[in-house]
Amino acid sequence: MDIEHFQGCLSWCFRFMRRRHLSICARTTVAQRLPAGYQERVAIFCTYCRDKITAPSHIYEAAAGKAFTKVGINAEAEPVGESDSDDEEEEFGMLDIEIAQLFNSDTEDENFDGFVAQRKSKTYYLGLLQEKNQDIAAEISKLENHITKFSIDEADYLHVVEQNKTLAHDIKDLESQVADYHLLAGTPQYQTDANKLYIEYKRLKIKNDRETERNNNIFKKRARKKKRKK
């Protein structure tokens, strides 16, 4: 069938694709060979769908915004007439179901850029989730390594503190022992006979008594001279 000479209502392309079980490639070819003025008819069709059909809104947005503005339009094709019959309304109802099924199907494996909106399947989001999980696991491993290193450093610090306390106690013991050794080393220098010490004491006492008596005599003479002057 020559698509340029096919006449019908606004949904003629969709009826053609529904009745002729076309492949994805064939549907794309049909969309690329649309007649002139079809873009305006698509806008009218979308308005009608919004008012009469309860299909998801993304169907019409994808049909009008993505596919039919992207494909080329044949300016030499014959214009297509409009139809407002009851049969066309029934066709719109059937198209509502078929288009909804078409858009609800998983299109990730279908490698085409037609008027069907592309959606990302669960595997894409599972891949993102696995990537985030790997990043989180790497961060957790990094933090665990830091915690382990900090624990080792803390244990080493506590061990060093205990060693310092032990060494400080040992130093005090050694200082006390050194003091005892100095005392023992200096004791022989002061060890003399008690009799010699007593004799030295007596000699120094007699000397001090003589000096005291002489000083007293000097003060007495001075006092007598002062009395005479008076």
Interval 96-122 mean pLDDT: 53
Residue that is written with structure tokens 């858009």 in the block = 103
Higher pLDDT, residue 42 or 128: 128
Query: Is residue 55 a part of any domain in this protein?
Result: yes
Residue that is written with structure tokens 């008076």 in the block = 230
Q: What are phi and psi of 74, to 5 degrees?
A: -85, 110
Domain final residue, candidates 57, 86, 119: 119
Question: In this structure, what token pair is assigned to residue 173?
Answer: 């013991």
Task: Give the angle 172-175-180 at the CA atoms, nearest 5°.
Answer: 130
Query: Is residue 147 a part of any domain in this protein?
Result: no
Containing structural domain, residue 78: 3-119
Q: Tens digits of per-residue pLDDT, 64-91?
A: 444 444 444 444 444 444 445 555 555 5
Domain final residue, candidates 80, 95, 119: 119
Q: Which of 133, 106, 130 is nearest to 118 (CA)?
A: 106
Query: Is residue 60 a part of any domain in this protein?
Result: yes
Query: Is residue 87 a part of any domain in this protein?
Result: yes
Residue 147 has pLDDT above 80, yes or no: yes
Higher pLDDT, residue 97 or 229: 229
Q: Any alpha helices (H) in the chain, and if so which ranges?
A: 12-19, 24-32, 38-52, 57-61, 86-104, 122-190, 194-229
**Same structural domain for residues 12 and 114?**
yes
**Same structural domain for residues 214 and 115?**
no
Q: Tens digits of per-residue pLDDT, 4-34?
A: 444 444 444 555 444 444 444 454 455 555 5
Q: Which of 67, 56, 64 is nearest to 10 (CA)?
A: 64
Domain final residue, candidates 119, 149, 165: 119
Higher pLDDT, residue 149 or 24: 149
Query: Count of domains in the chain?
Result: 2
Share of the chain above pLDDT 70, in %: 49
Query: Is residue 181 a part of any domain in this protein?
Result: no
Q: What is the pLDDT of residue 99?
A: 57
Query: Is residue 54 a part of any domain in this protein?
Result: yes
Q: Which of 17, 22, 35 is nearest to 71 (CA)?
A: 35
Q: What is the pLDDT of residue 170?
A: 92
Query: Is residue 138 a part of any domain in this protein?
Result: no
Interval 157-173 mean pLDDT: 91
Share of the chain above pLDDT 90, in %: 23
Question: In this structure, what token pair is assigned to residue 83?
Answer: 């139809």
Dist CA 191 CA 179 (whole Å):
19
Task: Give the angle 62-4-49 at the CA atoms, nearest 5°.
Answer: 30
Query: Is residue 14 a part of any domain in this protein?
Result: yes
Dist CA 40 CA 46 (whole Å):
10
Q: What is the pLDDT of residue 89?
A: 53
**Same structural domain for residues 197 and 115?**
no
Dist CA 13 CA 8 (whole Å):
8
**Same structural domain for residues 114 and 219?**
no
Q: What is the pLDDT of residue 138?
A: 93
